[in-house]
Amino acid sequence: MSGFIGALIGPRVPPEERSRRPLRYLTPTLIFMLARVVLLVSIFVPYWHMELVAPQYPDGLFLTAYCNHLTGDVREIDGLNHYIGMRPLGEAAAFERAASVWMIIAMFLLVEGAAFVHSKWAVLLAIPAITFPLGFILDLYYWMRSFGLNLDPDAPLSSSVKPFVPTVIGEGGIGQFRTYAAFGAGYWLACLAAGLIIVGFFFHRRAYRPLTLRARAEAKG
């Protein structure tokens, strides 16, 4: 193994050291494994919910966003949005929804790779999974802002509704319509996965940094 590859992958654990302190080296692997499973499960549960309430819909209209598709009263909400000049919901984040499952699988594999890299460079493999929850919020806000500020001026009610930024989280609304938005279990699972990865790197550093320092000392002397 070349010096560059060796420095990138990090030191291997000697068998006698692993048998003497099995928990030290097993802990980061198990935490990363749990993070990967949690991240994968998030694909199958909602990331975001919204309820829209209006006089003509006293029971409310509901929209649920998974990482790769929308469910709920999408057609009815699109019909209402049409009158104020907002584009159909299906046009929002089309690429992100199409690629999201593959992106999460890629993050799953990167975190798995981080468990086998025993150097500080393992963090680079996990950055996408750690920052994924923040990326989801920023992408959601971008599309909500884009749709709300770019209303069709020729829409039937365009003269009565000014461009606005829909509320991403919490209570909001425009005119007689009220909205209530909240993150779903999928988003919180992604946050949990990110937190587990960060905790995993604490134990990762505790396990492998001494081996790295020892290898450097032996190389010098």
Residue with tokens 């990138």: 8
Contact 186, 67 (CB under 8 A): yes
Going by C-beta distance under 8 Å and a sequence separation of 6 or more, which residues neighbour residue 134?
A: none
Nearest to 129 by CA among 112, 152, 144, 143: 112
Q: Give the pLDDT confidence score for residue 177 in this predicted structure.
A: 84
Cα distance between residue 170 and residue 183, in whole Å: 9
Q: Give the pLDDT confidence score for residue 90 in this predicted structure.
A: 92
Nearest to 41 by CA among 184, 190, 183, 195: 190
Count of other CB atoms within 10 angstroms of residue 194: 21
Domain boundaries defined on the chain:
24-220
Contact 211, 11 (CB under 8 A): yes
- Strand partners of residue 149: none
Query: For 195-207, how does the pLDDT look when each residue is reduced to its tens digit (9 = 90+)?
Result: 999 999 999 999 9
Strand ranges of the sheet holding 170-174, from the earlier edge strand across to the other edge = 70-72, 57-65, 48-54, 177-183, 170-174
Contact 38, 196 (CB under 8 A): yes
Q: Give the pLDDT confidence score for residue 18 in this predicted structure.
A: 84
SS3 62: strand
Q: Which string of DSSP letters, residue by residue, matches 71-89?
A: EESHHHHHHHHHHHTPPPG
Q: Give the pLDDT confidence score for residue 139 in this predicted structure.
A: 97
CA distances from 37 to 109, 187, 190, 198 (A): 11, 14, 10, 15
Cα distance between residue 187 and residue 195, in whole Å: 12
Two tokens at 60?
Answer: 């409310």
Q: Give the pLDDT confidence score for residue 221 in this predicted structure.
A: 59
Question: Residue 155 carries which side chain, given as an amino acid letter?
Answer: A
Return per-residue pLDDT of the chain as tens, 221 residues: 456 676 677 778 888 888 888 899 999 999 999 999 999 999 999 999 999 998 888 889 999 999 999 999 999 999 989 988 999 999 999 999 999 999 999 999 999 999 899 888 899 999 999 999 999 999 999 999 999 999 999 998 878 888 999 999 999 988 788 999 999 999 999 999 999 999 999 999 999 888 888 877 776 75
Nearest to 51 by CA among 188, 173, 138, 187: 173
Q: Give the pLDDT confidence score for residue 62 in this predicted structure.
A: 97
Q: Give the pLDDT confidence score for residue 136 in this predicted structure.
A: 97
Query: For 85-101, how does the pLDDT look when each residue is reduced to its tens digit (9 = 90+)?
Result: 999 999 999 999 999 99
Kindly report the pTM of this predicted structure: 0.91
Q: Give the pLDDT confidence score for residue 22 in this predicted structure.
A: 87
Q: Give the pLDDT confidence score for residue 129 in this predicted structure.
A: 98
Going by C-beta distance under 8 Å and a sequence separation of 6 or more, which residues neighbour residue 96?
A: 139
Cα distance between residue 157 and residue 162, in whole Å: 10
Q: Give the pLDDT confidence score for residue 158 in this predicted structure.
A: 79
